[in-house]
Amino acid sequence: MNKKILITACILGVVAIVLGAFGAHGLKSLISSDAQQTFETGVRYQMYQALFLLCIGNLTLLTEKAKRIILYLTIFGVLCFSGSIYGLATNELTSFDFKHIGFITPIGGLSLIMAWVVLLINFFKKQD
């Protein structure tokens, strides 16, 4: 499980860096500065979660079950939260109106929060 978490963390990190560079340079002349800031928010939270998973993959205090739950909540959360933000920020560039699926952004955010809550609960359960 640790290897899967660490690989996922690295993939999320690499993609965040690539998207960050693309947003800063490739999208600069194509979308508004507000949309660029929105896009950057998606990148920032994706990177936060990549770093979070790097920690989880190296943490020995958690059970495999807790790690699995955190991994899946994080993947789902990044896809819904950051993914929908990327779509909303670049909405003017596509024929699909991402505003119709904007409701998944808070669902993704809630999933990211729940991953952290699972970690917190497992810390409370841990015997000294």
- Per DSSP, the three-state class of 127 is coil
Residue 126: count of CB within 10 angstroms of its CB: 10
Model confidence pLDDT, tens digit, residues 18-75: 999 998 888 888 888 888 999 999 999 999 999 999 999 999 999 999 999 999 999 9
Tell me if 75 sits within 8 A of 46, measured CB to CB: no
Model confidence pLDDT, tens digit, residues 81-103: 999 999 988 888 877 887 888 88
Q: What was the pLDDT predicted at 128?
A: 67
Q: How far apart are CA 70 and CA 78, in angstroms?
A: 12
Q: What was the pLDDT predicted at 48?
A: 97
Q: How far apart are CA 9 and CA 52, in angstroms?
A: 8
Tell me if 46 sits within 8 A of 11, measured CB to CB: no
